[in-house]
A = this chain, B = another copy of it.
Amino acid sequence: MPEAIDAIDRRILRALQRNGRMSNVELANEVGLSPSPCLRRVRLLEESGVIDQYVAVLNGPRIGLGLTVFVRVWFKTQDAEITQQFAETVRKFPEVVECYLTTGECDAIMRVVTADLHAYWRFQADHLTRIPSVQSVKTDVPMETIKRSYELPLL
Protein backbone atom coordinates (compact mmCIF):
# COMPACT_ATOMS: atom_id res chain seq x y z
CA MET A 1 0.00 0.00 0.00
CA PRO A 2 2.75 2.57 0.46
CA GLU A 3 3.61 3.16 -3.19
CA ALA A 4 6.54 5.51 -3.48
CA ILE A 5 5.83 9.22 -3.73
CA ASP A 6 7.62 10.73 -6.68
CA ALA A 7 8.43 14.27 -7.74
CA ILE A 8 5.06 14.79 -9.43
CA ASP A 9 3.20 13.59 -6.34
CA ARG A 10 5.18 16.06 -4.28
CA ARG A 11 4.18 18.86 -6.63
CA ILE A 12 0.55 17.80 -6.30
CA LEU A 13 0.81 17.76 -2.53
CA ARG A 14 2.53 21.13 -2.40
CA ALA A 15 -0.18 22.68 -4.58
CA LEU A 16 -3.06 21.14 -2.62
CA GLN A 17 -1.54 22.19 0.70
CA ARG A 18 -1.69 25.78 -0.54
CA ASN A 19 -5.08 25.57 -2.18
CA GLY A 20 -7.11 22.52 -1.33
CA ARG A 21 -9.96 23.61 -3.55
CA MET A 22 -8.14 24.17 -6.80
CA SER A 23 -9.75 22.38 -9.72
CA ASN A 24 -8.18 19.25 -11.10
CA VAL A 25 -7.65 20.98 -14.44
CA GLU A 26 -5.71 23.81 -12.77
CA LEU A 27 -3.74 21.34 -10.68
CA ALA A 28 -2.90 19.27 -13.75
CA ASN A 29 -1.54 22.35 -15.51
CA GLU A 30 0.51 23.31 -12.50
CA VAL A 31 2.14 19.92 -12.16
CA GLY A 32 2.54 19.34 -15.90
CA LEU A 33 0.11 16.46 -16.51
CA SER A 34 -3.17 16.18 -18.33
CA PRO A 35 -6.26 16.05 -16.08
CA SER A 36 -6.83 12.26 -16.11
CA PRO A 37 -3.52 11.02 -14.76
CA CYS A 38 -3.47 13.95 -12.36
CA LEU A 39 -6.83 12.97 -10.90
CA ARG A 40 -5.73 9.34 -10.73
CA ARG A 41 -2.75 10.39 -8.63
CA VAL A 42 -4.84 12.58 -6.36
CA ARG A 43 -7.28 9.73 -5.73
CA LEU A 44 -4.40 7.38 -4.92
CA LEU A 45 -2.94 9.92 -2.50
CA GLU A 46 -6.33 10.19 -0.83
CA GLU A 47 -6.97 6.45 -0.68
CA SER A 48 -3.53 5.63 0.64
CA GLY A 49 -4.00 8.18 3.43
CA VAL A 50 -1.26 10.58 2.36
CA ILE A 51 -3.97 13.21 2.03
CA ASP A 52 -5.96 12.98 5.25
CA GLN A 53 -8.71 15.47 4.58
CA TYR A 54 -9.55 18.79 3.01
CA VAL A 55 -10.56 21.62 5.29
CA ALA A 56 -11.65 25.23 5.11
CA VAL A 57 -9.50 27.28 7.47
CA LEU A 58 -11.57 29.94 9.21
CA ASN A 59 -10.40 33.26 10.54
CA GLY A 60 -10.97 32.93 14.30
CA PRO A 61 -11.15 36.62 15.18
CA ARG A 62 -13.65 37.25 12.33
CA ILE A 63 -16.11 34.82 13.93
CA GLY A 64 -15.61 35.89 17.51
CA LEU A 65 -12.95 33.35 18.42
CA GLY A 66 -10.01 35.62 18.97
CA LEU A 67 -7.97 33.75 21.55
CA THR A 68 -5.77 30.69 21.31
CA VAL A 69 -4.08 29.40 24.45
CA PHE A 70 -1.45 26.68 24.71
CA VAL A 71 -1.95 24.74 27.92
CA ARG A 72 0.47 22.36 29.60
CA VAL A 73 -1.20 19.90 31.94
CA TRP A 74 0.16 17.90 34.87
CA PHE A 75 -1.70 14.80 36.05
CA LYS A 76 -2.12 13.53 39.60
CA THR A 77 -0.75 10.16 38.47
CA GLN A 78 0.41 8.77 35.12
CA ASP A 79 -1.81 5.75 35.64
CA ALA A 80 -3.34 4.41 32.35
CA GLU A 81 -6.89 4.58 33.64
CA ILE A 82 -6.57 8.18 34.77
CA THR A 83 -5.09 9.09 31.42
CA GLN A 84 -7.90 7.35 29.57
CA GLN A 85 -10.47 9.26 31.53
CA PHE A 86 -8.71 12.52 30.79
CA ALA A 87 -8.61 11.72 27.05
CA GLU A 88 -12.31 10.94 26.91
CA THR A 89 -13.29 14.11 28.71
CA VAL A 90 -11.05 16.35 26.66
CA ARG A 91 -12.31 15.00 23.34
CA LYS A 92 -15.75 16.27 24.22
CA PHE A 93 -14.70 19.90 24.72
CA PRO A 94 -15.03 21.75 21.41
CA GLU A 95 -12.72 24.49 22.71
CA VAL A 96 -9.88 21.97 22.81
CA VAL A 97 -8.85 21.74 19.18
CA GLU A 98 -5.68 19.74 19.84
CA CYS A 99 -4.45 17.62 22.71
CA TYR A 100 -1.43 15.33 23.03
CA LEU A 101 0.06 13.20 25.77
CA THR A 102 3.70 14.03 26.32
CA THR A 103 6.68 12.63 28.02
CA GLY A 104 9.03 14.94 29.80
CA GLU A 105 8.24 17.90 31.96
CA CYS A 106 4.45 17.91 31.66
CA ASP A 107 1.91 15.17 30.94
CA ALA A 108 -0.21 16.71 28.18
CA ILE A 109 -0.28 19.75 25.93
CA MET A 110 -3.32 21.25 24.36
CA ARG A 111 -4.47 24.14 22.20
CA VAL A 112 -7.66 25.79 23.33
CA VAL A 113 -9.64 28.30 21.23
CA THR A 114 -12.11 30.69 22.84
CA ALA A 115 -13.59 34.16 22.33
CA ASP A 116 -11.33 35.94 24.81
CA LEU A 117 -9.41 35.62 28.08
CA HIS A 118 -12.58 35.72 30.09
CA ALA A 119 -14.05 32.79 28.14
CA TYR A 120 -10.77 30.91 28.48
CA TRP A 121 -10.77 31.48 32.19
CA ARG A 122 -14.29 30.08 32.48
CA PHE A 123 -13.23 27.03 30.49
CA GLN A 124 -10.23 26.47 32.73
CA ALA A 125 -12.02 27.04 36.01
CA ASP A 126 -15.29 25.31 35.17
CA HIS A 127 -14.10 22.41 33.02
CA LEU A 128 -10.39 21.82 32.72
CA THR A 129 -9.28 21.92 36.33
CA ARG A 130 -12.39 19.99 37.36
CA ILE A 131 -11.25 16.89 35.48
CA PRO A 132 -10.27 14.63 38.42
CA SER A 133 -6.98 13.55 36.84
CA VAL A 134 -5.73 17.12 36.41
CA GLN A 135 -3.36 18.30 39.09
CA SER A 136 -2.30 21.63 37.61
CA VAL A 137 -2.01 23.58 34.37
CA LYS A 138 0.18 26.32 32.95
CA THR A 139 -0.78 28.50 30.02
CA ASP A 140 1.13 30.29 27.29
CA VAL A 141 -0.82 32.93 25.42
CA PRO A 142 0.24 33.95 21.91
CA MET A 143 0.22 37.73 21.56
CA GLU A 144 1.43 37.96 18.00
CA THR A 145 1.65 35.49 15.16
CA ILE A 146 5.03 35.24 13.48
CA LYS A 147 4.15 32.31 11.28
CA ARG A 148 1.22 30.01 10.73
CA SER A 149 1.44 27.54 7.92
CA TYR A 150 -0.58 24.50 7.01
CA GLU A 151 2.17 23.15 4.78
CA LEU A 152 4.37 20.31 5.92
CA PRO A 153 8.00 20.72 4.82
CA LEU A 154 7.98 18.18 1.95
CA LEU A 155 11.50 17.31 0.88
Contact = CB atoms under 8 A, between A and B. Distances in A.
Interface in A93-148: 94-106, 108-110, 113-114, 138-148
Contacts of A8: none
A7 interface: no
Interface residues of A, number: 68
Copies in the complex: 2
Contact of A142 (B94, B95, B101, B150): B101
Contact of A55 (B50, B57, B105): B57
Contact of A100 (B56, B59, B145): B145
Contact of A99 (B53, B146, B150): B146
Interface of A: 2, 5, 13, 16-21, 48-60, 62-65, 70, 72, 86-87, 90-91, 94-106, 108-110, 113-114, 138-155
